[in-house]
Amino acid sequence: MTMWKAIFPFLAALFVGFSCIPGGINKIEDAENDEMFQTALKFAVVQHNNGTNDTVLYQVVKVVSAEVQVVAGFKHIMTVILGRTNCEKEAPHHRCKFEVWSRSWLNDTQLISDKCDSIERATE
């Protein structure tokens, strides 16, 4: 019993320190400098651009939220503001939520969700 009294605080601190629970969704605090997130974001935007009938490309104006979930790989969940690359100053932007699933050991990345809505620029 004495051994558990010594080990328990260590295990509790370890659990709190590594609170990224497999299957849980965790906020990415520094998305701008997170290499895996940026790779997933670029992939999502390319796939989004390839999937539209628009004659212009969209680019990221702002990252609204960035999360990651560990599920047999990494699922990056992101909400971003996209703007057209050749648009008038007052043209509306789009708020998009993308989900990208990456399994590096299979060399596989998939865009599993792509949902966008037009928004007024003032609501960004």
The full set of domains in the chain, from first to last, is 22-123 (3.10.450.10)
> What gap in Å lies between CA 80 and CA 1, rounded to an integer?
52
pLDDT band with cut points at 50, 70 and 90 for residue 56 = confident
Q: What is the pTM of this model?
A: 0.74
Q: Strands (DSSP E) along the chain, which ranges?
A: 25-27, 58-70, 74-84, 93-103, 108-119
pLDDT tens-place string over residues 64-111: 999 999 999 999 999 999 998 886 666 778 999 999 999 999 999 999
The residue-averaged pLDDT of 22-30 equals 89
